[in-house]
Amino acid sequence: MVRLDRLVTTLRNWGALGFVIEVLRNAGLLGIAYQTYEKTVAAKSADAQSRSEADGLLLPPSELMVLVAGSPDVDWFLRFGQSMFQILLGSLQKEGVGVESLSAVLDFGCGCGRVLRHWRAVQGPQLYGVDRNARLIDWCRGNLPFAEFATNTPQPPLPYRDQSFGCVYAVSVFTHMSEAVQEAWMKELRRIVRPGGYVLFTTHGESFREKLTPLERTAFTAGNLIVRYEQASGTNLCSAYHPEAYVRRQMSAGYTVRTMIPAGTREALHQDLYLLRRD
């Protein structure tokens, strides 16, 4: 029997994955099919739920790590989260901002807390996490008691007042949204961040060029956003590729780009990273 993950790879190589996705979407089965795929990937790994790290926090079960990171690899889950946390702190410090001085910080698309767990020892800001997946939020509420959590709908608004946050970060979130959904959420983040506050997010940029088809590469070079399987927006199946010119032209409206760190230049940083300051 062919494993489901191998079947997906085969369909992608044959150029038939898009057709299958459209059939599943029309039948109302796309969500169920992709959930089955993620469970198959998670089943390959021993469940890590009972394992505690030195920080005393439990690790999420393999199935939840796959939902968030696309892999049940525990070491990668922890290393990536720690790396992103340190890059965020360093980027703010270069702006002259000490994280202890922030009144509130939001992890937008927090998943099962792979970055947020590393904020535990930071004194000062009130910590929040939001995600559209209620299972992930339930796990966070039960295991990361130092932060407050909420679920969100696929489209804005978020359940927060205007100008509530000094910093919002979204790690590997806009990489899995259609263009229209991205635009809506960038406007919403601007609403909840105070003037002079910061928004940090990551994208699939230049380092992913070779993964694109020749036609896609031409459009990417011209500064256009590429989105694959936008029918599955909000899941890991949907993949968005952002030229730097597009980010600066389209996504930074109402913001000033303060930092751009290319993928591969920092430990575990496999996506481009942008730090924007709200005007």
Q: What is the pLDDT of residues 24-33, one digit of tens each?
A: 656 655 555 5
- For residue range 198-242, what is the model confidence (pLDDT) as tens digits? 999 999 999 999 999 999 999 999 999 999 999 888 888 899 999
pLDDT digits (tens, 9 = 90+) for 182-210: 999 999 999 999 999 999 999 999 999 99
Those residues with Cβ within 8 angstroms of residue 165's Cβ, 6 or more apart along the chain or in another chain: 103, 104, 105, 106, 128, 192, 193, 194, 197
Residue-wise pLDDT for 36-56, tens only, equals 544 444 444 544 444 556 578
Q: Domain of 172: which CATH number?
A: 3.40.50.150
183's enclosing H/E stretch is: helix 179-192
State whether 15 and 106 are in the same domain.
no
Q: What is the pLDDT of residue 64?
A: 95
Whether 213 and 271 share a structural domain: yes
Answer whether 247's CB lies under 8 Å from 255's CB: no
E-assigned strands of the chain?
104-108, 126-131, 148-151, 165-170, 193-203, 226-228, 239-241, 255-261, 272-278
131-160: average pLDDT: 97
Please check whether residues 110 and 223 belong to one and the same domain: yes
Integer Cα distance of 59 and 71 in angstroms: 14
217 and 186 in one domain?
yes
Based on the fold, state whether residues 23 and 124 are members of the same structural domain. Answer: no
> How far is 168 from 200, CA to CA, in rounded Å?
6
Q: What percent of the chain has pLDDT over 70?
A: 81
CA-wise closest residue to 201 among 164, 250, 152, 162: 250
Per-residue pLDDT band for 3 (boundaries 50, 70, 90) equals very low
Do 18 and 107 share a domain, yes or no?
no
Q: Which two tokens stand for residue 168?
A: 């919002």
Tell me the per-residue pLDDT of 71-125, one tens digit each, with 9 for 90 and over: 899 999 999 999 999 999 999 999 999 999 999 999 999 999 999 999 999 999 9
Q: What is the pLDDT of residue 173?
A: 97
Residue 60 sits in the same domain as residue 121: yes
Which residue range is the domain that position 39 belongs to? 1-44
Query: Are residues 176 and 117 both part of a single domain?
Result: yes
Distance, CA of 124 to CA of 120 (rounded, Å): 11
Question: 128 pairs with which residues across the strands?
Answer: 106, 148
The CA-CA-CA angle for residues 173, 179, 184, to 5°, reads 75
What angle separates helix 17-26 from helix 30-43, to the nearest 10 degrees?
A: 120
The structural domain count of the chain equals 2
Specify the pTM: 0.84
